[in-house]
Chains A and B, each alone.
Chain A
């Protein structure tokens, strides 16, 4: 039986297909050890593949490392940016926390005081000029007027000497123009605390017969209407009786650190707190 010439090509292909089917059938239905042709091809292929792969893998590894380094640089920059942002945020939070602590102290004072008070923020300092003052962000529109005492959690700062609608100027107790009726807490001796500049005050008009020693606390006497009684003014750092004259020379350091002022409390001394 001969196949017509027209169909011979197809017959050849079909023959190959049949061969493939038989091969597939045999290899699936009768699994045996790997045949020699397969072994030969695997043995030939494996070293060639390894030879090709070594430089390729190396190239790819180098490329991946390069990409990794590029990515690393970018990541490093991003992390640095994030770090800076976080540092700023942390700083803000710390500031907020410290402000909260300060305000908490002020509020505690506010609660303890018999007078109504108003919290104000220090917006300017002028302690190097002739008149030692600070500016606060509250003015007449908030009820502030001249003469009101200004304190913080450490003690007395001074009193209002000038007001506008939204800003007031506070004369510090260290200024030479500041005079406050004071008394030494231990001995109850009364005198006048006068500013002497350079962050110092002098307690005047204390007779040499009175006993005042270093470390004694000086508080407001409440004799005038301006400062309520018992507010801490400062601490005696030197008491000298050797001067010729009737009175002692008593040097007082103010209780308040004027270089670190941020929030203050203005006592509305004419308004008693409603309880």
Chain B
């Protein structure tokens, strides 16, 4: 029950922190997307229902914060969540290098999603932006992802004591 009470606020704070604090620290040139790590964490560690809800809410909040059409990030995050979930059924996903590398892969997939959806919905090609900004951001996110995993793991109500072992 705690999950449904705390998670929306926690995710709101997470998105605000990501946008305001990290954005300011990195002079708004690199967006350190810890929300993506949250989605990956959900896919690897949390129950399917909670993870899906988390991904959807996080995606919707990202839509609001970034100003894109509603459902844009929601679709990307839920799709990534599905992919992560499917992968988690077949691999041992607890080692630190795996987490970092897997985050990097998911980041690339998110990049492809962003590229495709931008082209379809807005008709803009953001390939050059992706290369310039997204790849450095990906490297940073993948490097810090193991630490974020440990942090999320410590938040008990996030999974109400249930931690899915891959």
Contacts and interface: CB of A to CB of B under 8 A. Distances in A.
The answer to whether A and B belong to the same complex is yes
B59 interface: yes
Given A13-B48, A14-B82, A16-B56, A24 B75 contact: yes
Given A24-B70, A45-B12, A13 B24 contact: no
Given A9-B85, A23-B70, A41 B48 contact: no
Contact of A13 (B15, B60, B71, B85): B85
Contacts of A44: 12
B49 A12 contact: yes
A45 B69 contact: no
Interface in A2-23: 8-10, 12-17, 19-23
Interface string B2-27: 00000000001101110111001100
A28 interface: yes
Contacts of B82: 10, 13-14, 17
Contact of B74 (A14, A23, A52): A23
A25 interface: yes
Contact of B25 (A22, A41, A45, A56): A56
B52 to A, nearest CB: 5
Interface residues of B, number: 35
B75 A17 contact: yes
Contacts of B56: 16, 19-20
Interface in A24-64: 24-28, 35, 37-38, 41-42, 44-45, 48-49, 52-53, 56-57, 60
Interface string A145-171: 000000000000000000000000000
A17 B70 contact: no
A141 B158 CA distance: 101
Contacts of B35: none
B142 interface: no
Given A12-B52, A24-B69, A24-B72, A57 B81 contact: no
The 5 closest A-B pairs by CB, nearest first: A24-B71, A23-B71, A9-B48, A20-B75, A20-B74
25 contacts: A8-B48, A10-B86, A12-B52, A13-B48, A13-B78, A13-B82, A14-B82, A16-B52, A16-B56, A20-B75, A22-B71, A23-B70, A24-B69, A24-B70, A24-B71, A24-B75, A26-B71, A27-B71, A28-B69, A28-B121, A37-B64, A48-B16, A49-B19, A52-B21, A56-B25
